[in-house]
Amino acid sequence: MLVAGLALTLTLMVTFGLVSHPGLLVAATGAGVFTLISWLRQASIVRSDSGGVSPAHLTADRSGLLLVTKDAQAERVFSLLPKFGFALFATADRSRLVVALTNGASSLCVGADVGPADRKRLSWLMSHAVTACREDLAMAMQSTRGPVMLVDTTSLLRLIDLMTQVDATSFGRVMLTDNLGREVVLERDRLLTSRCTIRLDQPLEWRGLVFREGSGAMGVEYQGTWVRQGKSEMVLVSLMAGDVRQSIHEVETRTGGRPDAMLRQDAVLANGSPAAPPPVDQRVAVDRLFMLPLRRALDAAHVEKRDSIPGDASLGG
C-alpha cells in the first residue's frame, strides 16, 4: 500500500541549455552550467523495506535520471543515451497516470495521482494513455532500487516535457528486450524483433490469444499476440497481466457511467481467444505491461481484414 506524505524533492539539472517550460526561470552560472530548477515537488517515494523511509530526490540531465538518497551517492536509474522511448499508462478510473521509460537495457515508471482539479489539463495525455490495472502499475513503479516513485501531476508534466525536449520522437517508442536479451522495439512505422520486422504502414494480420502450459498447480497462463505480414510470422508472449476489462467494468458499475472510447478500445484489444500454445520458435517474449501498447500500435496499422485466420488452431500457419 502506498503511503503518502513523505516530502521528496526532485530537481532537474539543466546542463544542455534546455528550458523545458516557458514559466521556468533558468539562470546560467559562470561555469556555464545552469542552476538547479525545481522539477518535481511534494512527491512521495515509499521504500519497500519494512519501516525504513528516508528522504530522496531525483536529478536529471541530458544523460538520464539519477536517484539520490540520504547519506548516499547519486545512482543512475535510467539512461537517455543513446536512445529511449516513453509510453503513457492510466488506471481505468483515470485517477493515476504513469510515464513508462524504456531504453532496451532498463525501464523506469514514474506516476502521479490525478485529482478532479487536474483532469482538464491532463485530458490530452489521458486520451493517449493505455489502460492498465492499478496493481500492475504499482508493481511497475516499484524500482529495483527499492523506492516506489509517485510524484505530483505538475512534476509528471515537467518530466514528460523534458523527455520530448530531449527527443521529440520518443513519445510512443517502446524499447524492450526478450528473455534472451534481444531487442524488441516499437517505432512509429515498424515493430522490430529477433523473429522479424513488421511494417506498420503495410498490410498485416494480428489477433490476441491466451494459452496455458503445464498442468494443475504448476500450470502457467500466458497472453499472446499473433502477428503475420507476408511470410513473416511471430507471437508476442508474456505472462497474463491484470484483467483490464474487469477494471473498466468495476469503474462503470461504481460510477454508473459509460466508459469513454479509449476505455472501450482497450477492453476490446485486451481480449484474447483460447488457443493451443504457439510453436516455441515463433515466440517473442515481452514485458506484460507493454502487451497492450503493442496491440494498440498493431490495431492502428494497416490491418488486413479476414473472416478467419489460417492456422488458428496452432498458430503455426
Q: Are 172 and 165 in contact (CB under 8 A)?
A: no
pLDDT-based confidence at 313, cuts 50/70/90? very low
Single-letter amino acid code for the residue at 124:
W
* pTM of the predicted model over 0.75: yes
Q: What is the pLDDT of residues 8-56, one digit of tens each?
A: 333 333 222 222 222 222 222 222 222 223 333 333 333 333 334 446 6
Long-range contacts of the stretch 179-185 (C-beta < 8 A, 24+): 179/285, 180/285, 183/104, 184/236, 184/284, 184/286, 185/104
Single-letter amino acid code for the residue at 16:
F
Opening angle at CA 97, ends 48 and 130, nearest 5: 110
Mean pLDDT computed over 277-290: 96
Distance between CA atoms of 29 and 74, rounded to whole angstroms?
22
Is 302 a residue whose pLDDT tops 60? yes
From residue 241, give the alpha-carbon distance in Å to each of 115, 222, 298. Answer: 26, 9, 19
**Residue 93 or 317, more confident:** 93
Mean pLDDT computed over 227-248: 94
Bridge partners of 11, per DSSP, are: 38
pLDDT-based confidence at 253, cuts 50/70/90? confident
Question: What is the pLDDT, as a whole number, of residue 16?
Answer: 22
Q: What is the pLDDT of residues 99-116, one digit of tens each?
A: 999 999 999 999 999 999
Count of positions (residues) in the chain: 317
Distance between CA atoms of 126 and 128, rounded to whole angstroms?
5
Opening angle at CA 262, ends 260 and 266, nearest 5: 120
Is 73 a residue whose pLDDT tops 80? no
Percentage of the chain exceeding pLDDT 90 = 53
Q: Are 63 and 74 in contact (CB under 8 A)?
A: no
pLDDT-based confidence at 289, cuts 50/70/90? very high
